[in-house]
Amino acid sequence: MSKSLSILGSTGSIGRQALEVARFGDYKVKALTANANVELLEKQIREFRPETAAAADEKAAADLTVRVADTSTKILSGIEGVCECAAMQADTVLNSVVGIAGLLPTLSAIGAGNRLALANKESLVTGGELVMSSAKKNGVEILPVDSEHCAVFQSLAGCNDKKQIKRLILTASGGPFFGKTAKELETVTKEQALKHPNWEMGEKITIDSATMMNKGLELTEARWLFDVPADKIDILIHRQSVVHSLVEFVDGSVVAQLGVPDMRLPIQYALTYPDRAQSPVKQLKLEDYGSLTFEAPDYDTFIGINLCKKACAMGGLYSALVNGANEQANLLFRQGRIRFLQIGEAVQYTLENINPCQPGGVEEIFETDRIARQAVNDYFRIETEQ
């Protein structure tokens, strides 16, 4: 069971909830990192007194240094500072950085031999082979924090042979637009897309949930975490977010993990594994729900899942290409520069028309990400000219 903890992305939704778990379980917080939210990071530093903190934004780091000069916390800056925090000795490093920016800190934590609680799915979407081989080489345990992958991880307890697995079933809430047709989605706004029915998350992942691209990225993550082919991973819409995911075995048995929709539960499990402990999460009472429903996704309207599946099948760095295109299109939508359905449209264009770099190391992954983002920008400039 972990007693010392470093949190990368501590000012985001997962990071804040991880600190609630740390407070409840009396964990020693060794390091905290954020991008640029220095006001909240300062408050966290003053409460948890970490040895080190970092802001990825250079100006924010300079501001933070002045703000906490009266504390003993050492302040670092840039992605290098975040990676240094990831490499500090701790029982567990929780990486909840958003997007491909989390890849280098993931590799830094693994390289230092730290057990990794992974909430940054893009580390595996973009660099799955590199991350998993590095973890194996360094003898590092990767514990999933996403509720779906944590559920699969728990459902696989006692399964000693992958041949026993028939399929993994990742559940999805369906987001705020479940049941909507493509025509109904043509004019939806950012504010509507950010109204998730069950989960409190950051803007990027909430938009990904609305497009259901998030589920495609989670499918890719599961492919690497559990070494299961993408065609043996299915998606099921479950509006109540009580059944977090399931595993079907070759004998027809299905094992699932249930709980209230509260991210503190998978966060704490990643910290206490292989043990369990009392949690601040409220008790699940199924009688309060009355019924649980399950439906197939609308793949024609929400095309992101199949795009991710196709990228997995194509191999190489195509998943990194899809991720980069999605991150850029998601950003453009949040900036009000494109429409909601154009997110998936841009990702599809990129996957079908742009080639990634040949597989290699970190440089090739980030160059593929750059190519994908540029392709999305070019696509919308062309569309505007027409």
d(CA 327, CA 323): 6
Q: Which of 145, 162, 177 is the last residue of a domain?
A: 145
Q: What is the mean pLDDT of residues 329-350?
A: 97
d(CA 215, CA 377): 24
What's the pLDDT at 65?
98
pLDDT in tens, 42-65: 999 999 999 999 999 999 999 999
Do 156 and 135 sit in the same domain of this protein? Answer: no
Write the CATH number for 384.
1.10.1740.10
In a domain, 279, yes or no: yes
Contacts of 363 (CB under 8 A, 6+ apart): none
In a domain, 304, yes or no: no
Q: What is the mean pLDDT of residues 27-46?
A: 98
Do 151 and 141 sit in the same domain of this protein? Answer: no
3-state helix, strand, coil in the chain (%, to 5): 50, 15, 35
For residue 258, what are the domain limits? 147-262+272-297
What's the pLDDT at 200?
72
Burial class for 276, CB neighbours closer than 10 Å (0-12, 13-18, 19+): exposed
In a domain, 111, yes or no: yes
pLDDT in tens, 345-376: 999 999 999 999 999 999 999 999 999 999 99
Do 194 and 103 sit in the same domain of this protein? Answer: no
d(CA 148, CA 219): 10
pLDDT band of residue 385 (cuts 50, 70, 90) is: very low
Do 174 and 210 sit in the same domain of this protein? Answer: yes
Do 154 and 288 sit in the same domain of this protein? Answer: yes
pLDDT band of residue 386 (cuts 50, 70, 90) is: very low
Q: Are 145 and 118 in contact (CB under 8 A)?
A: yes
% the chain with pLDDT above 90: 94
What is the count of structural domains for the chain? 3
Q: Which two tokens stand for residue 339?
A: 């429409």
d(CA 64, CA 309): 42
Do 163 and 184 sit in the same domain of this protein? Answer: yes
Q: What is the mean pLDDT of residues 273-285?
A: 95
Q: What is the distance in angstroms between the CA of the first residue and the CA of the last residue of the chain?
A: 59
In a domain, 107, yes or no: yes
Do 79 and 170 sit in the same domain of this protein? Answer: no
Q: Are 119 and 94 in contact (CB under 8 A)?
A: yes
What's the pLDDT at 196?
80
In a domain, 363, yes or no: yes
- Return the amino acid letter for 307: L
Question: How many CA within 13 A on the CB side of residue 179?
Answer: 6
Do 292 and 155 sit in the same domain of this protein? Answer: yes
Do 139 and 153 sit in the same domain of this protein? Answer: no
Q: What is the mean pLDDT of residues 25-32?
A: 97
Q: Is the pLDDT of residue 126 over 60?
A: yes
Q: Is the pLDDT of residue 312 over 50?
A: yes
Q: Which two tokens stand for residue 108?
A: 């830094």
Q: How far is CA 252 from CA 170, 247, 255, in A?
A: 17, 10, 10
Do 130 and 155 sit in the same domain of this protein? Answer: no
Q: Are 9 and 15 in contact (CB under 8 A)?
A: yes
Q: Which of 100, 121, 145 is the last residue of a domain?
A: 145
Taking alpha carbons only, the member of 42, 48, 41, 45 closest to residue 22 is: 48
In a domain, 75, yes or no: yes
Q: Which two tokens stand for residue 211?
A: 């497009």
User: DSSP E strands: which ranges in 102-176?
Assistant: 115-118, 142-144, 165-172
Q: Are 58 and 80 in contact (CB under 8 A)?
A: no
Q: Are 9 and 53 in contact (CB under 8 A)?
A: no
d(CA 240, CA 79): 38
Helix axes 362-385, 103-111, angle to 10 degrees: 170
Q: Which two tokens stand for residue 43?
A: 């408050």
Q: Is the pLDDT of residue 384 over 50?
A: no
Q: How far is CA 210 from CA 77, 124, 175, 185, 264, in A?
A: 33, 21, 5, 10, 22
Per-chain mean pLDDT for the chain: 95
Write the CATH number for 111.
3.40.50.720
Do 130 and 163 sit in the same domain of this protein? Answer: no
Helix axes 58-67, 38-48, angle to 10 degrees: 40
In a domain, 303, yes or no: no
Q: Is the pLDDT of residue 261 over 80?
A: yes
In a domain, 267, yes or no: no
What are the helix (H) ranges across 7-102? Answer: 13-25, 38-48, 58-67, 78-87
Q: Which of 112, 145, 178 is the last residue of a domain?
A: 145
Do 289 and 372 sit in the same domain of this protein? Answer: no
% the chain with pLDDT above 70: 98
d(CA 252, CA 123): 33
- Return the amino acid letter for 152: V
